[in-house]
Structure 1
Amino acid sequence: MRAKKILLPFIAMAIIAGLVGCNNDGDSGGTGQLVVKMTDAPFPSDLVSEANVTVTKIEARQKGGDSESAFITIMEDEVSANLLDLTNGVTENLADVEIPEGTYDLIRVYVADATVVLKDGTSYDLKVPSGSSSGIKIFVKPGIEVAGGLTAELLLDFDVASSFVAKGDASSPSGITGFNFKPVIKASNQSFAGRLVGAVTTEVEGETETEIIALGGATVSVYAADTLNTTAITAEDGTYTVLGLQAGLYNVTVELQGYAANTSEGVEIVAANATTQDFVLNPE
């Protein structure tokens, strides 16, 4: 499922509630536009072909509200998607709706079911913990501000690798006995976020010149201080994209079997901008 526009949809995770705006903490009577998109933090897919989720509803809570009346439904359609299609910068629109002006600091996502399909065709239906009844709660920090006549974007990044945990021996399909589903979703206020892009290559000495070879399948890990923030996997052409990074400094490490790891420290992410960081790996 490639990035396509859907009115009031959801899934792999990127809710974008783009925000341009004012500092309202409550409802001022007007309405603003909220756009919801989804993307996915990369998942090691050497054994898995599908990581599917079905979402039936999405709600947003106005800041300061403690009761159910503070929640507004922004999507109420059953939408299914393979999260592995939403990687490396690909997003999916989930909702594009008008809602009351104000600041929204909590999103609730209702997941009806989840399945994993291995590349050998084996399928597992997973138990969804409270996702269909009370919703999966994702806090938005800083809150997303919706202002009259403007459009806000919020990105929900569904970390498949952390959310779908294999049981048994994950080194081969025959060793896997099932999966536990423990949804891990990161919300990013796009007004304060930027993106990291680049390419990973290696150099091979030829008879007459040095040849640049793209490295697909390399893991790009982004750290805030010593804490892993998110990861990406390079495409076949060696390129990668990491969305929804809050403005600030990060350390970025690239790893690929057969090559020495390469780390760049103090990579600066600027809000609403793209930072380019390329890497050259040397064979071990």
Structure 2
Amino acid sequence: MRFNFFSIMLLASFAMVVSCSNGDDMSSDTGKMTILLTDAPFPHDLVAEANVTIFKIDARNKDEETDDSFVVLMEQEIKVNLLELTNGITETLVNTDVPVGTYDLVRVYVKGVNVVLTDGTSYNLDVPSGEQTGIKLFIKPGLTVNGGLSADLLLDFDVSRSFVAKGDSKDLAGITGFNFKPVIKASNMSSAGTLYGEVITLEEEMAVSLEGAQVSIFTADTLNTTTFTDETGAYMVMGLMAGSYDVTVDIDGYGSQTAEDVEIIAANKTSQDFELIVSEEATGN
């Protein structure tokens, strides 16, 4: 489980997608790169905003053996409240042509990072090196851009580990500030997929959505990531490497449920729904 206060992924999270486009000229020396930002949902009862301003993004073309191997993708200020980007909602940061080649490193330059609590208290956070040298993210496997085409890259900015509360994180009055320690995962979407679905229960034979259900994704008994359902009972996790996963859903008052061997296919979406039953403890039986 992640830090109690932010029990999710931010950029769930920071997402950068270099999205697919159909091009006609395979011999072109450029391809299209689109960068999107997203955040996975998490219970944020004490937090109203988690803001970050991205003012530059560049990427290294490892096929270029020169000092100019870094390509500037964006140089403008874009302020985003990461809490507004959940369950597949994204913010477009970049849509530009880049030289063909394989990109193995991205640098994200940020400033203006702050957290606003639900009582209106605001904390401005220091950005260690991110404003001067950028936050360095290695892409494995490398992202290959071919002539006339583009590829997809997802950046998962983990709020739960990136924004660390000082003091008592369970009580507004106990929070004295935050430390900013950016944790961002870069996923090559040509080799990764998306898991989505909804969590419901039945009340008098009517389907009722369950908000705030924890969806945990495991690989060989190791927790890969965690997210939470929104007010419609829906969840979505992007950037999962292709393979087989066990998915467990928990929420107070209901019995947990696990779907085993859920197959994630590269560059595709996999649907997995859950129907939970009220626990005996909740019914008093």
TM range (shorter): 0.7 to 0.9
Residue equivalent to 1:30: 29
Shift in Å, 1:132: 0.4
Q: Provide the secondary structure at the position in 2 that maps to 1:130.
A: coil
Separation in 2 of the partners of 1:81 and 1:18? 20
Shift in Å, 1:123: 0.4
- Most deviating of 254-263 and 99-108: 254-263
- Most deviating of 51-60 and 65-74: 65-74
Shift in Å, 1:225: 2.3
Residue equivalent to 1:25: none
Shift in Å, 1:190: 1.5
Q: Retained in 2: the 8 A contact 1:124–1:178?
A: yes
Residue equivalent to 1:250: 245
Shift in Å, 1:231: 2.4
Post-superposition Cα deviations, 1:42-68, rounded to whole Å, max 9, x if no partner, equal 333111010000111101011266875
Q: Superposed, which structure 2 residues align to 1:84-163 within 5 Å?
A: 84-163=83-162
Residue equivalent to 2:70: 71
- Most deviating of 60-69 and 195-204: 60-69
Residue 160 of structure 2 is aligned to residue 165 of structure 1: no
Residue equivalent to 1:193: 192
Partner AA of 1:15 in structure 2: M
Q: Retained in 2: the 8 A contact 1:19–1:154?
A: no
Q: Retained in 2: the 8 A contact 1:42–1:231?
A: no
Name the CA shift for 1:220/1:67 in 2 (closer, same or farther; >3 Å).
Answer: farther
Residue 247 of structure 2 is aligned to residue 279 of structure 1: no
Residue 219 of structure 2 is aligned to residue 224 of structure 1: yes
Matched residues, percent identical?
Answer: 56
Q: Superposed, which structure 2 residues align to 1:174-193 within 5 Å?
A: 174-193=173-192
Partner AA of 1:247 in structure 2: A
Residue equivalent to 2:264: 269
Shift in Å, 1:94: 1.0
Post-superposition Cα deviations, 1:191-215, rounded to whole Å, max 9, x if no partner, equal 11211111101123x3xxx232210
Q: Provide the secondary structure at the position in 1 that maps to 2:107.
A: strand
Separation in 2 of the partners of 1:258 and 1:144? 44
Q: Retained in 1: the 8 A contact 2:39–2:82?
A: yes
Post-superposition Cα deviations, 1:4-47, rounded to whole Å, max 9, x if no partner, equal xxxxxxx76211113689xxxxxx98111111111113333111
Q: Provide the secondary structure at the position in 1 that maps to 2:68.
A: helix
Partner AA of 1:17 in structure 2: V
Residue equivalent to 1:17: 18
Q: Provide the secondary structure at the position in 1 that maps to 2:15.
A: coil
Q: Number of aligned pairs? A: 264
Separation in 1 of the partners of 2:166 and 2:65? 38
Q: Retained in 2: the 8 A contact 1:220–1:231?
A: yes
Q: Retained in 1: the 8 A contact 2:43–2:212?
A: no
Q: Retained in 2: the 8 A contact 1:18–1:191?
A: no
TM-score by length of 1: 0.87
Post-superposition Cα deviations, 1:91-145, rounded to whole Å, max 9, x if no partner, equal 1111011111000011000111310000110000011111001110111111111
Separation in 2 of the partners of 1:215 and 1:130? 41
Residue equivalent to 1:5: none
